Structure 1
């Protein structure tokens, strides 16, 4: 893979020099995978004219890393380690309510920035709502606020291996006495939303899946999904066409797979991330959070 060429393609798409179709065709050839090209596209936002509000990636490029808030009282939080079958050590951030009472569990999948303080805060929020939440560290310790570095990390990430690591995180949760039942939920954001959907294609250990603005499954993939799907997207997402989101929902329904698709008018990509003022949409974020909690509470085992 010619990384410089791919980065040039990204830049050309962002400034409007090439169309989405052209970007996908060229990126697929360069990356050797249509899925990888789609994932990279979903993570990229077009760069708007100077008179327009600053795009998501421009803010992230200049923003200072947010200071981590102390974990709320009543929670047990911290880094955990767990093995994969090859003997390697994997890590993640675990948050859960105090006590030994078994709780429903969710896996929280990071954006393309890495396992940063925002994702840890999301895990804490789930724990405050009574869930056990594990955010696996798919970049193995690397976190960035620079869009160019984030793109490199996405391109270097082996997506099939990432799904396997997510499964190892699921296995770890299901081995814990403080986790209820024999299935868990999964939720992902941006890159993580696409990975959550990919995991739903192969894992029998999921009771429910939630994708925040993740690359939609194709109509051909949809019948293979093994858990109910909640999809949360913005109408103004420059990297994910609404038509593709609706096509996924229609294909899931046709295959008899329970699903709900919500598209928030006026919301951009990353509308849930409250650390990024240019894309955060408070109303959409609040509604999506309530829908996510309701989805998991209605589908996850509690004992």
Structure 2
């Protein structure tokens, strides 16, 4: 990133920070980005990886806003960040009890926002990808769910309950979700009547975006984004009414 797509309109955007009030009064910090054009757009809840809300999450939120989506990215770790996998796991364990409930609330806020047309997708990176699987199974009102990695093991027996099409993206060198799990996920997808898709991207590992990528890896990053945009355009029809 930045990655530009000649086949997609690129919008000027506005960005900022909000607080999402939970039902217990807790204020969940979140980043938002949306086109400045005066109309309503489909929405995206963007869920960060186990490193916490970082610059990559912010840049992706801006990117999807430029592509024509109203994006909310909740900070599920309340400002805590790390680059160490052991500390990242501790953060996951510390916050996991309430993580899905917070995602669920963020999705509800997004659906009701006056600049969103109530057609909403969930996109997650790593840990956020796991939460995307859960949202696809538990929320009947999502239009699309896209997981950039994640741990599907806990959801394999419930994929048939999903009412939301899922796009699951994994790197061929993914170190945490092993090939047998991905084969089981593929079988679960194939049994479903929904148009779920599993895509394996050659040369990528757990991370889909890095300044240190080779040209070949950057091409796969761009391909992952193109797959994501195509999937959302297929399942989130834009509302052209003026707000």
Give the alignment's TM-score, normalised by structure 2.
0.87
5+ residue gaps, structure 2: 1-9
Mapped partners of 1:195, 1:79: distance in 2: 22
Indicate if the aligned counterparts of 2:123 and 2:147 stay in contact, CA closer than 8 A: yes
Paired position in structure 2 for 1:192: 128
1:203 Cα deviation after fit: 1.1
1:277 Cα deviation after fit: 4.5
1:81-102 per-position Cα deviation (integer Å, ceiling 9, x unaligned): 1211222212210000103300
Mapped partners of 1:262, 1:225: distance in 2: 18
1:247-281 per-position Cα deviation (integer Å, ceiling 9, x unaligned): 112212213122111112232111x1224549x92
1:173 aligns with 2:173: no
Match of 1:106 among 44, 47, 50: 44
Mapped partners of 1:175, 1:100: distance in 2: 17
1:155 Cα deviation after fit: 1.9
Aligned CA RMSD, in angstroms, stands at 1.9
Partner SS, residue 206 of structure 1? coil
Match of 1:221 among 142, 152, 158: 158
Moved more, 258-267 or 115-124: 258-267
1:75 Cα deviation after fit: 1.1
Match of 1:135 among 61, 67, 73: 73
Indicate if the aligned counterparts of 2:160 and 2:192 stay in contact, CA closer than 8 A: yes
Mapped partners of 2:141, 2:51: distance in 1: 27
1:109-163 per-position Cα deviation (integer Å, ceiling 9, x unaligned): 101111111100000000111111111110012122233321210121224x211
Q: Number of matched residues? A: 228
Superposed, 1:108-257 pairs within 5 Å as 108-159=46-97, 161-180=98-117, 182-217=118-153, 218-257=155-194
1:213-233 per-position Cα deviation (integer Å, ceiling 9, x unaligned): 111244312112120010111
Paired position in structure 2 for 1:20: none
1:198 Cα deviation after fit: 1.3
Superposed, 1:59-70 pairs within 5 Å as none
Indicate if the aligned counterparts of 1:213 and 1:231 stay in contact, CA closer than 8 A: yes
Match of 1:83 among 4, 21, 37: 21
Give the alignment's TM-score, normalised by structure 1.
0.71
Mapped partners of 2:11, 2:234: distance in 1: 26
Paired position in structure 1 for 2:3: none
Partner SS, residue 41 of structure 2? coil
Change over 3 Å in CA distance of 1:157–1:82 after alignment to 2: closer
